[in-house]
Chains A and B, each alone.
Chain A
């Protein structure tokens, strides 16, 4: 079983749509969670950290469900510029220095 699993997509949505991605993780001891964005042939860039109580940054909302071991990312009012691959990142148990990356979920926002 993979440490972190994501639906690869692609999710094809029109501009202005709301889209949500989930990511499941296998190690219940994991403590830190992040969403990264990766554009084609570019490096991953931090989108947002995920806090226990959930957090929002503009059109983006991240949630953590420890009981079911998943994190989610909600994007409201999608823009063409949101088209990218979204990577879920989880620490390896309680080792804050080691991270597992999901394979990513591809989002295509269409005009």
Chain B
């Protein structure tokens, strides 16, 4: 019963390093999302993929790139990490057969940039 799986769970990077966060879902969902959550703030959408082969920017896309590798996998890449990208990153997926389908979340990646 895996659901949405994120790797790694924790990571510490130095400023300027690059890194890819991985996300995979086994629920045959169409849409996938990447969010960041900072203290005292709600989740903010970085990028999303409405279906395999498509990606779109969310509220805070600067400094990030994404790849929808296949229907199951959606990765988030930081090309040159900055301290402002220290955050908790959540991946989510959603079935889009009906408009009011909710999102299901992975358990997050805690990323610190020094």
Residues of A within 8 A of B (CB): 4, 8, 31-32, 34, 42-46, 49, 51, 87, 89, 96-104
A-B pairs, 6 with minimum CB distance: A101-B42, A43-B105, A101-B43, A103-B42, A32-B100, A96-B99
Contact of A103 among B41, B45, B94 (CB under 8 A): B41
Tell me the bound Cα distance from A51 to B44 in angstroms. Answer: 24
Tell me the bound Cα distance from A22 to B48 in angstroms. Answer: 28
Shortest Cβ gap from B36 to chain A (Å): 11
Verify B106–A96 contact, CB threshold 8 A. no
A-B contact pairs, 16 of them (CB 8 A): A31-B100, A32-B99, A32-B100, A34-B102, A42-B107, A43-B90, A43-B108, A45-B105, A46-B102, A51-B100, A96-B100, A97-B31, A97-B96, A98-B45, A100-B42, A103-B42
**Residues of chain A with a CB closer than 8 A to B100's CB:** 31-32, 49, 51, 96
Tell me the bound Cα distance from A102 to B56 in angstroms. Answer: 21
Q: Is the interface of A mostly helix, strand, loop or mixed?
A: strand
Interface range on chain B: under 10, 10 to 19, 20 to 34, or 35 or more?
Answer: 20 to 34
The residue on B at minimum CB distance from A97 is B50
**Residues of chain B with a CB closer than 8 A to A101's CB:** 35, 42-44
Would you call B104 an interface residue if the criterion is a C-beta within 8 Å of the partner chain's C-beta atoms? yes
Would you call B103 an interface residue if the criterion is a C-beta within 8 Å of the partner chain's C-beta atoms? yes
Would you call B40 an interface residue if the criterion is a C-beta within 8 Å of the partner chain's C-beta atoms? yes
Contact of B96 among A8, A87, A96 (CB under 8 A): A96
Query: Which residues 13-58 of B sit at the A interface, judged by CB distance below 8 A?
Result: 31, 33, 35, 40-45, 48, 50, 56, 58
Tell me the bound Cα distance from A98 to B94 in angstroms. Answer: 11
Tell me which of B48, B58, B105 has the highest count of chain A C-beta atoms within 10 A of its own C-beta: B105
